[in-house]
Amino acid sequence: MLRDSFRLLVILNTLLKARLDKELSAFEKPKIISLLLLISPWRLYSSKGDSGERLRKALEDLGPIFIKFGQLLSTRPDVLPTEITSSLKTLQDDLPHFSETEALALIEKELGSSIDILFEDFDLTPIAAASIAQVYSAKLKENQEPVAIKIVRPGIKKKIERDISLMKRIATFAEKRSEDARRLQMLRLVEEYEAVILAELDMRLEASNIKQTKRNFESNKLLYVPEVYLDLCTQNVLVMEMIQGIPVDRIDTFNELGVDLKLVAERGVEIFLKQVFIDNFFHADMHPGNIFIDAKNPADPAYVAVDYAIVGSLSEEEQYQIGRMLVAVIGRDFKEVASILIDSKWVNPNTRLNDLENTIRAACEPIFDQPMEKINFGEMLLFIFDSARRFDLRMQPSLMLLQKTLVNIEGMGKQLYPALDFWSIANPFLKNWISERYNPKKLTEWAKKNSLSWLEKARKLPEIADTAIEQVSRLEEYQVANETRHKELMDKLYVQGRFNGMLLIVFIICLLYTSPSPRDATLSRMPSSA
């Protein structure tokens, strides 16, 4: 308790040092905190930079857990205005590496064997060190394969749990005393962050993410996914293939090798679209530090991705609505964009369609005045979400991860090939995806797939009608005067219930027997027009 109280004082002092006392003044505070704000020596110093920059500095001073929280907030335009999220995107979490003694002891404890038995050429200097883990290079003893060994920082879980607990207390305190905090659902934000960062602590989850992505790209050579050695993976240690590739931001190197940069940029967009709409499983941390290019064949370059700690997926409804939104934005159909936001309940359902449409139009029209190659599609979505904040925009974390991924992919593509036209690749892909996924044939297949469930529901309809009748009959003792009316109602319910049940059964049986079987389809296949 004493340690928590001291940590809270450190947090408060850091916020005051960054001159965020102006922002804190909006909260109803206990007298002790008001007194601390009043007597704070930092009040003698003028604030430098805007609130976003000062918040970024405070989070960096508070350490890695708060830094990663700020990085999460940078992907939430539905929560914070653009000027703040832009500042938070520059947060850095590079840390000094922990000692080689700790690293070796942890590996041997987790894997149950000595380093000399498992590995050769173990380099004691880590090749990367971040807030959650650090990475070493070595070779497997049994086959001499080069590997990367990722190790969770010793003791980091306890620190995370302590700071998360404090964040929850602060969020609860803020929501009780500030309307803005309640609107932003600060406690829910912290809980979302908790789920993300705890997932990053489990190397087994990352190993599973790698295996799934590798399966998704088995027949597609656009993205190379490294091999993971599951027998050498534990909660705190991950052993995977050491990848070969050139960092994606080495433009000069690519030019020297004669790499087709236009093709590289376009393939990045194709990978994004495949992961989101075909696989529904996307790498959600595709920044330049995690992406490499295999340029052994300059005319046929491939992407190589590492760090699969954070992945995203969408519900079928989210997929469909995002696909529609992208097509609508490309077509400058702002009314359709507004309609999607309202129908999906991503904004207040009571929002007036015309008001939201005009707001989105005002945000997007200036962007369309630029040449097509200068338009950043991801940033346009950011503008849309930011402008919709006044309509109580609230989106699922998965959608925010998607938006962040799109910004990263498009940004890397523009860096490689400034004239990259995201629209020309995405538009035909999305239109084809929507038409294929939701054409009558696909819907029929979906109906057949779910026919047994429908039949079961149809079978239960008479029971439901009987239950309804029973419930209605109970009204008789309270409404004797309406006895005749009740009887008529019960009769109608009973008859209608059984009729609807039989009708649904007949419909599904007809569907099953009229749809062509795989054998029939083979026998009656017509040549395509292609």
Name the phi and psi angles at 283, rounded to 5. -65, 120
- For residue 28, pLDDT beyond 80: no
Beta strands in 1-94 (DSSP E): none
Query: For position 469, what pLDDT does the model report?
Result: 47
Residue finishing a domain among 438, 463, 490: 438
In one-letter notation, the amino acid at residue 424 is S
The predicted-structure confidence for 115-127, as pLDDT tens digits, reads as follows 999 999 999 999 8
Name the phi and psi angles at 19, rounded to 5. 55, 45
More confident residue, 234 or 87: 234
pLDDT band per the 50, 70, 90 thresholds, residue 490: low
Query: For position 33, what pLDDT does the model report?
Result: 57
Q: Across-strand partners of 152?
A: 133
Claim to verify: residue 297 and residue 250 sit in the same structural domain? yes
Percent of the chain predicted with pLDDT > 90: 27
The answer to the question of residue 408 being in a domain is yes
Per-residue tokens: 192 = 């979302």
Claim to verify: residue 414 and residue 293 sit in the same structural domain? yes
In one-letter notation, the amino acid at residue 377 is F
The answer to the question of residue 530 being in a domain is no
- For residue 528, pLDDT beyond 50: no
- Average pLDDT, integer, range 209-223: 93
- For residue 489, pLDDT beyond 60: no
Q: Which H or E element spans position 240?
A: strand 237-241
DSSP 304: E
The answer to the question of residue 275 being in a domain is yes
Closest CA to 284 of 393, 199, 185: 199
Q: Among the listed ranges 165-169, 415-419, 502-506, 515-519, which one has the minimum average pLDDT value?
A: 515-519
Q: Which H or E element spans position 88?
A: helix 82-88
| Catalytic, out of 78, 285, 307, 386 | 285
Claim to verify: residue 361 and residue 425 sit in the same structural domain? yes
- SS3 of residue 178 by DSSP: coil
pLDDT band per the 50, 70, 90 thresholds, residue 254: very high
Query: Which residue bears the tokens 């027949």?
Result: 219
The answer to the question of residue 370 being in a domain is yes
Query: For position 476, what pLDDT does the model report?
Result: 46
Is 285 one of the annotated active-site residues of the chain? yes
Q: How many residues does the chain have?
A: 530
Claim to verify: residue 287 and residue 434 sit in the same structural domain? yes
Q: Among the listed ranges 324-338, 370-384, 416-430, which one has the minimum average pLDDT value?
A: 370-384
Residues 6+ apart with CB under 8 A from 102: 154
Residues 6+ apart with CB under 8 A from 23: 51
Query: Which residue bears the tokens 């359709």?
Result: 336
Claim to verify: residue 276 and residue 409 sit in the same structural domain? yes
The answer to the question of residue 528 being in a domain is no
pLDDT averaged over the chain? 77
Closest CA to 375 of 419, 327, 430: 419
- Average pLDDT, integer, range 501-528: 45
The predicted-structure confidence for 398-410, as pLDDT tens digits, reads as follows 787 888 888 888 8
Q: How many other CB atoms are found less than 10 A from the CB of residue 489?
A: 16
Q: Which long-range contacts (CB under 8 A, 24 or more apart) does 186-192 make?
A: 189/72, 189/73, 189/76, 189/79, 190/69, 190/164, 192/72, 192/397
Claim to verify: residue 83 and residue 101 sit in the same structural domain? no
Query: For position 37, what pLDDT does the model report?
Result: 57
The predicted-structure confidence for 128-146, as pLDDT tens digits, reads as follows 887 788 999 999 998 999 9
pLDDT band per the 50, 70, 90 thresholds, residue 521: very low
Q: Provide the Cα torsion 208, 165, 287, 374; round to 10°.
A: 130
More confident residue, 41 or 184: 184
Query: For position 42, what pLDDT does the model report?
Result: 52
- For residue 250, pLDDT beyond 80: yes
- SS3 of residue 242 by DSSP: coil
Residue 24 sits in which domain range? 1-91
Q: Do strands 128-129 and 133-140 pair parallel, antiparallel, or not at all (unpaired)? A: antiparallel
Query: For position 288, what pLDDT does the model report?
Result: 81
More confident residue, 87 or 100: 100
CB 221 within 8 A of CB 251: no
Residue finishing a domain among 91, 121, 152: 91
Q: Among the listed ranges 4-8, 362-366, 475-479, which one has the minimum average pLDDT value?
A: 475-479
Claim to verify: residue 108 and residue 80 sit in the same structural domain? no
pTM, two decimal places: 0.71
CB 43 within 8 A of CB 24: no
Query: For position 83, what pLDDT does the model report?
Result: 73
Claim to verify: residue 364 and residue 488 sit in the same structural domain? no
pLDDT band per the 50, 70, 90 thresholds, residue 257: very high
More confident residue, 56 or 276: 276
Q: Do strands 302-305 and 223-224 pair parallel, antiparallel, or not at all (unpaired)? A: parallel
- For residue 153, pLDDT beyond 80: yes
Q: Across-strand partners of 312?
A: 282
Claim to verify: residue 284 and residue 427 sit in the same structural domain? yes
Query: For position 23, what pLDDT does the model report?
Result: 56
Question: CA–CA separation, 425 vs 466, rounded Å?
Answer: 55
The per-residue b/e assignment along 227-260, b for 16 or more CB within 10 angstroms, e otherwise, is: ebeeebbbebbbbbbbbebbebbbeeebeeeebb
Residue finishing a domain among 56, 91, 126: 91
For residue 163, give Cα distances in angstroms to 24, 190, 195, 225.
20, 11, 14, 34
- Average pLDDT, integer, range 35-44: 56
The answer to the question of residue 529 being in a domain is no
The predicted-structure confidence for 370-393, as pLDDT tens digits, reads as follows 776 677 777 788 778 888 888 888
Domain count across the chain: 4
The answer to the question of residue 117 being in a domain is yes
Claim to verify: residue 431 and residue 448 sit in the same structural domain? no
- For residue 31, pLDDT beyond 70: no
Claim to verify: residue 371 and residue 452 sit in the same structural domain? no
Query: Which residue bears the tokens 């109906």?
Result: 447
Claim to verify: residue 288 and residue 388 sit in the same structural domain? yes
The answer to the question of residue 406 being in a domain is yes
pLDDT band per the 50, 70, 90 thresholds, residue 465: very low
Per-residue tokens: 307 = 């760090």
Query: For position 467, what pLDDT does the model report?
Result: 45
